[in-house]
Amino acid sequence: MDVYLPRTLPEALELKARHPEAMPIAGGTDVMVDINFDRHRPTALIDLTRIPELAVWRREDGHIFLGAGVTYTRIMQELPGLRAWFQAARTVGSPQIRNRATVGGNLGTASPAGDALPVIAAHDGEVIMISARGERSLAWHEFLVGVKRNALHPDELIAGVRWRTVRGPGSFSKIGTRNAMVISMAGLCLLLDEEARAVRVALGSVAPTIVRAAEAEAFAAAEIARAGAWDDPKATLSEGTLAEFGERVTGAAKPIDDIRGTARYRRHACVVLGRRALAWALADRRG
């Protein structure tokens, strides 16, 4: 096995063009587990941890760009104002995993249980890919094409994700077996978009890829409008409406039974996560 240690992005892209079979490795928290378990034997690796161009985030004309190489620890330290991102980062593994694991690795693995992915989906994020041929971008749902499958070409790297800044409260919450013990059974990101007067809900771990609960989103936005709560944050929704929202969120899930939990439990988890997330968001607006 060969390991390449490029120091700049152009160098990395040239290596990837020359060795399309070489596997990129960032934090290694997915790659190494597969190698140590002998599930995968790459012939070559390209280490991305020394590439400064991937390890940056920036605000650009109403958008945020988050580089593929930014770790969850850095998201917590440098972007605490992005509530949902902060909360998702905090739930990933343990400090030692968060010190290494990156958002790019979460996208590369494209597991339905990747905790950054519902957050990207709720933000309507686009994934920026880059190769020696140039740059292209795809909406998150075009990039995540199936269970552990993404739309990356063999000569491309993930540069990062980009989304339009959303004004309004939001959260990420998940249900799993134990703190720090890997994979979630259900995860949910909810955002209130005050400008568009829209509610956005994305679910992880309950379908082959990340899903948006479009029908529940429309229901919640209409109910908030009916209660007059877009204009008056003091106005509330009834318990019954919140519960119905939870039921509708579950409507978007297509869960399976697996070793981590049953489909029935996952459906129930979506009801609870959805109802709570909407209640929190409305409470945040009341201040």
Cβ-based burial of 72 (10 A; exposed 0-12, middle 13-18, buried ≥19): buried
Tell me which residues in 38-67 interact with another protein (CB under 8 A): 45, 47, 49
**For the window 134-163, what string marks contact with ligand FAD as x by the rule CB under 6 A?**
-----------------------xx-----
Sign of the Cα torsion 165, 169, 174, 179 reads positive
Helices (H), the chain: 9-18, 31-36, 72-78, 83-91, 95-98, 103-109, 116-122, 140-143, 214-226, 239-250, 263-286
Candidate list 24, 28, 169, 176; residue touching another protein; CB under 8 A: 28
DSSP bridge pairs for 162: 65, 126
User: 92 touches which of ligand FAD, another protein, none (CB within 5 to 8 A by kind)?
Assistant: ligand FAD
Q: Whole-number minimum distance, CB 4 to another protein, in Å? A: 10
> Taking the CA of residue 224 as centre, how many other CA atoms within 13 Å lie in the half-sphere pointing to its CB?
26
Rounded distance between C-alpha atoms, residue 112 and residue 135, angstroms: 25
Q: Which residue do the tokens 């998201």 mark?
A: 75
Q: Residue 64 and residue 165: Cα distance in Å, rounded?
A: 6
Site size for ligand FAD, by CB under 6 A?
Answer: 30
CB of 96 vs ligand FAD, minimal distance in Å: 8
Q: Is 93 in the site for ligand FAD (CB under 6 A)?
A: yes
Contact region for ligand FAD (CB under 6 A) — 23-31, 194-202, 205-213, 221-229?
23-31
144 in Cβ contact with 125 (< 8 Å): no
**For residues 27-66, which are near ligand FAD according to CB under 6 A?**
27-31, 33, 48, 54
Question: Of the candidates 8, 94, 177, 262, which one interacts with another protein according to CB under 8 A?
Answer: 94
Q: Does 92 bind ligand FAD (CB under 6 A)?
A: yes
Q: How far is the CB of 258 from another protein (least distance, A)?
A: 18
* Residue 102 in the binding site for ligand FAD (CB under 6 A): yes
Residues 9/53, Cβ–Cβ less than 8 Å: yes
Which of 9, 35, 145, 182 is in the footprint of ligand FAD by CB under 6 A?
182
Per CB under 8 A, the segment of 53-61, 93-101, 131-139, 153-161 that binds another protein is 93-101
Which candidate, 149, 143, 111, places its Cα nearest to that of 129?
Answer: 143
Structure token digits, residue 118 = 């519902």
Using CB under 8 A, list all residues that contact another protein: 1-3, 5, 25, 27-29, 32-33, 35-37, 45, 47, 49, 73, 93-97, 99-100, 179-182
